[in-house]
Amino acid sequence: MDATEDTNTSKQYALFHKILRESKHVAILSGAGLSAESGVPTFRGPGGYWRRFVATQLATPEAFKENPSRVWQFYHYRRNGMLTKQPNPAHKALSKYRRLVDSKQAGETTTFTVITQNIDELTPRDVDPIEMHGSLFRIRCTACGRREQNRDNPICEALRGTEDIEKEEANIPIEKLPSCSGCGGLMRPDVVWFHENLDEDIMKRISDVLRECDLFLVVGTSAIVYPAAGFAERVKMKGGKVVEFNIEATMDEEDVDMRFVGPCGQTLPKALRVDGME
Ligand code: BJW
Ligand code: ZN
């Protein structure tokens, strides 16, 4: 059953605090659960649908090729929805902990890296997150590869109003979907879909982080999508510790050293000892 409150014991937190203070290189892998308390739907939860479609089935190059109008409406819906979403206490805890590390008040900890699978940009910019699956607010040309940041809402006139899922799905011709200001090609969300390779530089940065990481926190992810699903094992194989934060136990017992079951907006600030900080 999903936990709606923090039922972890003070003994468990005390043990974790000791491990945290003694760890030199702390890294976090976050997933959709990190943003759940901000009201952003997760993929494999009840909100993992857009209209009658399973969200992960729209997050593929095949779906975009077959029906770019539908896939753009799905992303427009999510971009539009983000207008009313704010970082929650778990996101804020990351900034606060970064401040502790930077001011050398975090024991032995000298590096703190946040790797996120989320594309919502709710992870505070001051933790310089590695956004391994891209961003909802970046687009890229399918013809020339040109990338741009874009927060326009709607991103093009034809998508205006299509966020209303009570209305029938629109059938937008390609010429009316977002196009490249350089070559006129069709733009797509600059995110990583299933069966697509992740950016090489990002993977290299992540490998460097995992190589030296001695404490890896897996926060709000079902940890089933590769390559992220393999990160904890890589840390563990090198002798690092892995701690899961989730509303339910998702990782196998033998793959974690500890877990905090409960909403990460409650558990993470307490675990990082930043809950009293402004
Ligand atoms: C809370 C909470 C609260 C809720 N507090 N917790 C090896 C084996 C098998 C398959 C593969 C493999 N290697 C590669 C593959 C194929 C594929 C894959 O992994 N498939 C799996 C399904 C098995 N991987 C890929 O295709 C990747 N590419 C790749 O590897 O390239 C090489 C290659 C090329 C060709 C062929 C094969 C390999 C790319 C993966 C890209 C994933 N993209 C998406 C969409 C991004 C854009 C978008 O958002 O639209 O990324 S899919 C989706 O899943 C999204 C997410 O980032 C990702 C992970 O989901 P996440 O974040 O874990 O969300 P949920 O909903 O699953 O979980 C939420 C969790 O939070 C739950 O556990 C809740 O309990 C919890 N929770 N509230 C704490 N308050
Ligand atoms: Zn172009």
149-186 tens-digit pLDDT = 999 999 999 999 999 999 999 999 999 999 999 999 99
Q: Is the pLDDT confidence value at 216 over 60?
A: yes
**Contacts from 12-20 at CB under 8 Å and sequence distance 24+?**
12/258, 12/260, 13/270, 13/271, 15/258, 16/243, 16/258, 16/260, 16/271, 17/271, 17/273, 19/215, 19/241, 19/243, 19/257, 19/258, 20/106, 20/107, 20/109, 20/215, 20/271, 20/272, 20/273
pLDDT of residue 6: 85
Contact 56, 43 (CB under 8 A): yes
Domains 1-40+88-133+198-278 and 41-84+135-191 agree in fold: no
Give the span between the Cα atoms of 257 and 83, in whole angstroms.
Answer: 38
Q: Is the pTM of this model over 0.95?
A: yes
2 is in an annotated binding site: no
pLDDT of residue 171: 98
pLDDT of residue 7: 85
Average pLDDT over residues 189-211: 98
**2 confidence band (pLDDT: 50, 70, 90):** low
How is the chain split into domains, by residue range?
1-40+88-133+198-278, 41-84+135-191
Q: Is the pLDDT confidence value at 1 over 50?
A: no
pLDDT of residue 85: 98
Q: What is the CATH number of domain 41-84+135-191?
A: 3.30.1600.10
36 is in an annotated binding site: yes
- How remote is the CA of residue 89 from the centroid of ligand 1, in Å? 23
State yes or no: is 133 an active-site residue.
Answer: yes
Looking at domain 1-40+88-133+198-278, its CATH architecture is 3-Layer(aba) Sandwich (3.40)
Q: Mean pLDDT, the chain, as a whole number?
A: 96
Give the span between the Cα atoms of 215 and 28, in whole angstroms.
Answer: 8
Q: List Cα–Cα distances, 118 to 87, 136, 175, in angstroms.
A: 13, 9, 29
Question: CA Rg, the chain, in Å?
Answer: 20
| From 46-60, 70-84, 146-160, 177-191, the region with the lowest mean pLDDT | 46-60
Among 226, 251, 266, the mutation site with the greatest number of ligand 1 atoms within 8 A of its Cβ is 226
